[in-house]
Amino acid sequence: DQQVKQNSPSLSVQEGRISILNCDYTNSMFDYFLWYKKYPAEGPTFLISISSIKDKNEDGRFTVFLNKSAKHLSLHIVPSQPGDSAVYFCAASDNNDMRFGAGTRLTVKP
Amino acid sequence: DVKVTQSSRYLVKRTGEKVFLECVQDMDHENMFWYRQDPGLGLRLIYFSYDVKMKEKGDIPEGYSVSREKKERFSLILESASTNQTSMYLCATSETLQETQYFGPGTRLLVL
């Protein structure tokens, strides 16, 4: 069963615009959420996280929003740059387990 | 900085061969993980280990085994490789099961 879902397999955005990547989860016990970025032929790297006690966390151009009632989180990248083109995985965890979504391939066009 | 290394970046093996993938971390983390990444399926957990000689099955353990004889080293073994095990294999490590996982560069395995 997929406890973490990224329903958009791909997203294409123009350079300078906002990229919004979405993620939904089903397990209400998840209380820590992360986004990872993966370039081809490399392992995923941690990008940003948010605890369930917050609804927003910002780090430079990257902001993660959490809507607990909707069991939904999103990653906003503003402004998007060509170097942001990668696969983005969201992940959700509780004390015992971390689950990953299937990933969204972001392409930022110059 | 956490460093996670994997023994090979690319491997080509034949059906029925025994395959060893090794992962080494330098951060003294308790937890180590093996995932495979396939298009449209994301990262699927094969096995993880929370201590030396301890292991737990993940979501897709069939056809795989693991070994953790030393804290820094976690090996994934394909006893008899099959073509459906062609994939990208990723090792990860973390301090706790909940926190950020640090990934190695991955091993792309092709089974012919």
Closest residue of A to B44, CA-based? Answer: A100
pLDDT at B98: 81
Nearest CA distance, B61 vs chain A (angstrom): 16
| Sign of the CA dihedral running B82, B85, B90, B94 | negative
Q: Are A11 and A69 in contact (CB under 8 A)?
A: no
With contacts defined as CB-CB under 8 Å, which chain A residues touch B101?
Answer: 46, 91, 98
Q: Which two tokens stand for residue A52?
A: 């369930």
Q: What is the pLDDT of residues B20-58, one digit of tens each?
A: 999 999 999 999 999 999 988 889 999 999 999 999 999
Cα angle: B95, vertex B90, A23; to 5 degrees: 80
Nearest CA in chain A to B4: A43
- The Cα A53–Cα B23 span in angstroms is 34
What is the mean predicted confidence (pLDDT) over A70-74? 97
Mean pLDDT of chain A: 94
Of A1-5, A16-20, A57-61, B99-103, minimum mean pLDDT range: A1-5
Q: Which two tokens stand for residue A50?
A: 């948010």
pLDDT tens-place string over residues B57-83: 999 999 999 999 999 999 999 999 999
| Closest CA of chain B from A14, distance in Å | 24
pLDDT at residue A1 greater than cutoff 70 = no
CA A20 to each of CA A25, A67, A77, A79: distance values in angstroms, whole numbers, following the listed order: 17, 15, 7, 11
Choose, out of B25, B101, B110, the residue to mutate when testing the contact with A (most A CBs < 10 Å).
B101
Phi, psi angle pair for A82, to nearest 5°: -55, -35
Instruction: Decide if pLDDT at B2 tops 80.
Output: no
Res B97: pLDDT: 82
In degrees, to the nearest 5, what angle opens at C-alpha A80 toward C-alphas A78 and A86? 125
pLDDT value of residue B99: 83
Pairwise CA distance, residues B87 & B111, whole Å: 9
pLDDT score for B41: 86
pLDDT the model gives residue B20 = 97
Q: What is the three-state SS of chain A?
A: CCCEECCCCEEEEECCCCEEEEEEECCCCCCEEEEEEECCCCCCEEEEEEECCCCEEEECCEEEEEECCCCEEEEEECCCCHHHCEEEEEEEECCCCEEECCCEEEEEEC
pLDDT tens-digit readout, A74-108: 999 999 999 999 999 999 998 778 899 999 999 99
Residue B90 to residue A43, Cβ atoms within 8 A: yes
The angle at the Cα of B91, spanning A20 to B102, to the nearest 5 degrees, equals: 55
Q: Is B9 on the interface with A (CB under 8 A)?
A: yes
Closest Cα in chain B to A103: B42
Q: B-chain residues within 8 Å CB-CB of A94?
A: 98
CB atoms within 10 A of CB A55: 12
Q: What distance lies between CA B106 and its chain's CA centroid?
A: 9
The closest CB to that of A9, out of B40, B43, B99, belongs to B40
Question: What is the torsion angle, in degrees rounded to the nearest 10, for the CA atoms of residue B28, residue B34, residue B37 and residue B40?
Answer: -110
pLDDT above 90: residue A23: yes
